[in-house]
Amino acid sequence: MTVFGMVSAVAGFVKIRYLLDKAVIDNMVFRAHYRITSAILFCCCIIVTANNLIGDPIMCINEGSIPGHVINTYCWITYTFTLPHEQGKRVGTHVAHPGLGNDNQDKVYHSYYQWVPFVLFLQGILFYIPHWIWKIWEEDKIRKISDGMRGTIIGNKAERAPRISRLVQYIMESMHLHNTYAFIYFLCEGLNFINVLLNIFMTDKFLGGAFLDYGTDVIRFMNMDQENRTDPMVAVFPRVTKCTFHKFGASGSIQKHDALCVLALNILNEKIFVFLWFWFIILAVISGLALVYSLAVVMLPSTRETIMKRRFRFGTPNGVDAIIRKTQVGDFFLLHLLGQNMNLMVFGEILEELVRRLNFGSNSNLPSAPSTLEMSPIYPEIEKFKETET
């Protein structure tokens, strides 16, 4: 129950946003990296260290005088090996176990099983780092400026008007000052994509070059005739290996003791890494598409226009045109994040008020809201952002 308790605690990491009053500062693909992927990797790390699920991770047998606990400990802290030329042979007639046979041939040494929990934990941290960078830079900006307006509709239109006017006043006064803010976000999106590719190749290196084709080999194995197929998971994560222990005999000569070792932990490792293979591939694809989407937002005004009309249902032609023409990428990115945190009707009212001020400016007969510079501490960061952009 302790294991499941720890896994449940990590799983709560995925839904923590729904338990706390936090603003949305990224998109679903971004969250798939630091929430879902990190949680998966941390859970896998806990599972492979939970000996009560499989018993002892290694059990070795030998015909010599070496006590069982000694040979188990020795083979775990050093390495075991298999024979690649014995892979694929029929078990029971040609070999006792896949990859085992006469030692007078090339050997493949296995010591990765000592490091699997550490590698999984490190990967979980790597997937969280881009979010950590973005969160530090963002400094709760969206939460502060949308405070009291996120979520469901609050009051009637007249009651919302002061808050809307104040928020639009902030947007007007900080116009064109959010480009660096947006650049850091897009940079962190790029780091997410680079990170998932880095983890794919790092895992391949860790498993001796067997990870890149691991998933496709497993799919091919499942579609093969059961009589003739060879499980690729057993080749990458052997369940029975050999280990050699040397000791001094009674006369001072060196004695060699061979042992067969059952790696029960590999029954978990093979399932974990085949799942990670598929998940990393899916994550890399959607992260690449997210980067293309972000590039289109930066480079193509028509993309921003489409987002306004379809994503936020703000369909006034003149209004959309005014927003696209008179705002920069950073301003649009700020509006996009605000739209993700608000009811569509409330956000539509904000856009309508923004369009009126963009079109009429200081000549508008609309009542002016107090300057956001006078609203400390609600908007204390505006001066800092001005200094940053200049």
Q: How sure is the predictor about 228, in pLDDT bands with cuts at 50, 70 and 90?
A: low
Mean pLDDT of the chain: 81
- pLDDT score for 313: 81
CA 390 to CA 388: how far, in whole Å? 6
- pLDDT score for 187: 96
Q: How sure is the predictor about 8, in pLDDT bands with cuts at 50, 70 and 90?
A: low
- pLDDT score for 231: 72
What are the CA-CA distances from residue 114 to residues 55, 244, 265 (Å)?
16, 18, 10
Q: Is the dihedral of CA 222, 224, 227, 229 positive or negative?
A: negative
Instruction: Tell me what the mean pLDDT of segment 320-327 comes to.
Output: 88
Highest mean pLDDT among 283-297, 310-324, 344-358 belongs to 283-297
Q: How sure is the predictor about 192, in pLDDT bands with cuts at 50, 70 and 90?
A: very high
| pLDDT at position 93 over 70 | no
| pLDDT at position 380 over 70 | no
Complete DSSP assignment for 91-127: BTTTBSSTT-S-SSS--EEE-GGGTHHHHHHHHHHHH
Cα 160 versus chain centre, distance: 38
Highest mean pLDDT among 30-34, 106-110, 324-328, 359-363 belongs to 30-34
Instruction: Tell me what the mean pLDDT of segment 41-68 comes to.
Output: 80
- pLDDT score for 253: 76
Q: Which is more confidently placed, 167 or 318?
A: 167
- pLDDT score for 295: 94
Eight-class DSSP state of 225: -
Q: How sure is the predictor about 193, in pLDDT bands with cuts at 50, 70 and 90?
A: very high
| pLDDT at position 11 over 70 | no
Instruction: Tell me what the mean pLDDT of segment 150-154 comes to.
Output: 66
3-state DSSP call for residue 324? helix
| pLDDT at position 18 over 60 | no
Complete DSSP assignment for 285-323: HHHHHHHHHHHHHHH-HHHHHHIIIIIS----HHHHHHH
Q: How sure is the predictor about 217, in pLDDT bands with cuts at 50, 70 and 90?
A: confident
Highest mean pLDDT among 144-153, 279-288, 313-322, 369-378 belongs to 279-288
Q: Are 236 and 149 in contact (CB under 8 A)?
A: no
What pLDDT digit, counting tens, does each position of 102-135 carry?
Answer: 776 778 888 888 899 999 999 999 999 999 999 9
| pLDDT at position 376 over 50 | no
Instruction: Tell me what the mean pLDDT of segment 157-182 comes to.
Output: 89
Q: How sure is the predictor about 366, in pLDDT bands with cuts at 50, 70 and 90?
A: very low
- pLDDT score for 370: 44
| pLDDT at position 17 over 70 | no
What pLDDT digit, counting tens, does each position of 259-316 carry?
Answer: 888 888 888 898 999 999 999 999 999 999 999 999 999 999 999 988 988 888 876 7
Q: How sure is the predictor about 34, in pLDDT bands with cuts at 50, 70 and 90?
A: very high
Instruction: Tell me what the mean pLDDT of segment 36-62 comes to.
Output: 84
Q: Is the dihedral of CA 93, 95, 101, 105 positive or negative?
A: positive
pTM of the model: 0.81
The alpha carbon torsion through 219, 220, 221, 222 (nearest 10 deg) reads 50
Percentage, residues of the chain above pLDDT 70: 79
Instruction: Tell me what the mean pLDDT of segment 65-82 comes to.
Output: 84
- pLDDT score for 219: 86
CA 261 to CA 259: how far, in whole Å? 6
| pLDDT at position 379 over 80 | no
- pLDDT score for 155: 65
